[in-house]
Amino acid sequence: MDLADIGVTGLATMGRNLARNLARHGYAVAVHNRTAGRTEELVAQFGGEGTFLPATDLKSFVASLKRPRRAIVMVKAGPGTDAVIDQLAELMEPGDMIVDGGNALFTDTRRREAALREKGIHFVGTGISGGEEGALHGPSIMPGGSRESYEALGPILEDIAAKVDGVPCATYVGPDGAGHFVKMVHNGIEYADMQLIAESYDLLRQALGATPAELAEIFREWNAGELESYLIEITAEVLAHVDAETGKPFVDVVLDQAEQKGTGRWTVQSALDLGVPVTGIAEAVFARSLSGHPEQRAAARALAGPAVSGVADRSFVEDVRQALYASKIVAYAQGFDQITAASQEFGWDIDRGAMATIWRGGCIIRARFLDRIRQAFDADPSLATLLVDRYFADALALAQDAWRRVVSTAASIGVPTPGFSSALAYYDALRRDRLPAALIQGQRDFFGAHTYRRVDREGAFHTDWSGDRAERPA
């Protein structure tokens, strides 16, 4: 019997499309799903696209794989993943590979990798971005795990990934949970990017009284410049869409409560643990949470707002574009800082330029701008922050006046722009010669004898605030 090059278990949309992508690239693909109907459906509908080896149970699925076996698990992240992994591991041998292509929490991936390593099985936690279309036509793939497993898997993943200038959007990320971590931060950045775009829309609509159709045109124009990206492109599409039933702009008939599956929240939780200020991502997560509190929003509708509600000047459009670009640079810089911190914490040795490279295509945050990020990290792999790279520093310098005007206009007309405002605050805080953190240290020492360091001497000190106020080494 002919054996499969690789297998996919879990044939919901993402798994099915990934299996088809593999088959279309000439790989013989073993396919399995808990309910056999889906497997049969896949083979009946798409069997002509390549070689599929359907299996009705995991035992025959594993038996149909070439050695070393490569099995991709595409089930919803959570306890279900553990069950499938455990069953596969029972059926596999040392040297085989289990690839988790779901959005798993990186700490779960670390745990699973360690457990399977004991058995000699490679566990490859892999970020896959690009939605259903990406899975089928070329996603961005972020695999973690052992280098050895990448030798056997990498060529296949690079083959089916999106390509930009002939370069695949897939590369080895790092050991154990590194791949899922990078995917998580990708999603966090996705949240920040979406929030910033949403603020631009809201502000322009409110300030200029522009219609969604007019705003679609503005986003379309923006997409021809430095903001060119998938998210800007689809924003124009969504804004131009008209609801068939009511004839109203689609955006006006959608309930304004943003949902989330959790990866943005995980990014912020991890950033808190790592001590990395990902303010753009955090504001985006909180903005979604706030939108989901209709009772409070209804109660607050009576609160006082400003007298002015708009601006007449069309130059505001360009100001908002600049504010969006500058805030986006900050959000990406923060996301990359989080990757840097985790890479150090967990010994992953992640190449940031390579991550920017594989995000250039296939994934949700794909953008022209990522090529600039790649160049920045390639030119200086130890760059302290993306903001100081020459290209980005110049872009921020050019944008900052407009950015400040946008944030102050938004405040004066009462349009919330947490993304723009916090990004500007971050930019200004980072630039500051002295921060009020010195005062906070004084307060901490006053009420809790928490001690402080001085600018002119080594060591920790405490002032006897309740006594003679003399300073003593701590």
Interface positions with ligand 6PG (CB under 6 A): 103, 129-131, 187, 190, 260-261, 263-264, 363-364
Does residue 125 sit in helix, strand or coil?
Answer: strand
Q: Of all helices (H) and strands (E), which one includes residue 32? A: strand 29-32
Closest distance of CB 234 from ligand 6PG, Å: 12
The answer to whether the CB of 267 falls within 8 A of the CB of 279 is: no
Round to whole Å and give the CA distance between 472 and 364.
Answer: 55
Q: Of all helices (H) and strands (E), which one includes residue 115? A: helix 106-118
Q: Which CB atom, from 210 or from 285, has the smaller least distance to ligand 6PG? A: 285
Q: Nearest CA to 99 among 63, 81, 125, 75?
A: 125
434 CB-contact burial (10 Å; exposed 0-12 / middle 13-18 / buried 19+): exposed
Q: Which CB atom, from 103 or from 149, has the smaller least distance to ligand 6PG? A: 103
The residue nearest ligand 6PG at its CB is 129
Q: Which CB atom, from 78 or from 209, has the smaller least distance to ligand 6PG? A: 78
Q: Which two tokens stand for residue 111?
A: 């745990």
Q: Which CB atom, from 259 or from 456, has the smaller least distance to ligand 6PG? A: 259
The answer to whether the CB of 129 falls within 8 A of the CB of 183 is: yes
Closest distance of CB 137 from ligand 6PG, Å: 13
Sequence-distant (≥ 6) Cβ neighbours of residue 301 within 8 angstroms: none
Q: Nearest CA to 73 among 52, 94, 95, 88?
A: 88
Closest distance of CB 389 from ligand 6PG, Å: 25
Round to whole Å and give the CA distance between 54 and 150.
Answer: 25
Q: Which CB atom, from 142 or from 383, has the smaller least distance to ligand 6PG? A: 142
Whole-angstrom distance between the N-terminal and C-terminal Cα of the chain? 75
Q: Which CB atom, from 105 or from 410, has the smaller least distance to ligand 6PG? A: 105
Q: Which two tokens stand for residue 268?
A: 């912020």
Sequence-distant (≥ 6) Cβ neighbours of residue 195 within 8 angstroms: 280, 283, 284, 287, 288, 418, 419
Round to whole Å and give the CA distance between 285 and 290.
Answer: 9
Closest distance of CB 364 from ligand 6PG, Å: 4
Closest distance of CB 20 from ligand 6PG, Å: 17
Closest distance of CB 183 from ligand 6PG, Å: 7
Does residue 52 sit in helix, strand or coil?
Answer: strand
- Give whole-number Cα distances, 116 to 97, 110, 144, in Å: 10, 10, 14
Does residue 257 sit in helix, strand or coil?
Answer: coil
Give the rounded distance of the alpha carbon of 59 from its chain centre.
35
Closest distance of CB 310 from ligand 6PG, Å: 31
Closest distance of CB 291 from ligand 6PG, Å: 12
Q: Which CB atom, from 264 or from 418, has the smaller least distance to ligand 6PG? A: 264
Tell me the DSSP string of 443-457.
Answer: HHHHHH---EE-SSS
Closest distance of CB 103 from ligand 6PG, Å: 5
Does residue 464 sit in helix, strand or coil?
Answer: coil
Round to whole Å and give the CA distance between 119 and 361.
Answer: 36
Express the helix, strand and coil content of the chain in percent, nearest 5 each.
55, 10, 30
Q: Which CB atom, from 135 or from 317, has the smaller least distance to ligand 6PG? A: 135
The catalytic residues are 183, 190
Does residue 260 sit in helix, strand or coil?
Answer: coil
Tokens 């990448």 belong to residue: 150
Q: Which CB atom, from 70 or from 366, has the smaller least distance to ligand 6PG? A: 366
The answer to whether the CB of 203 falls within 8 A of the CB of 172 is: no
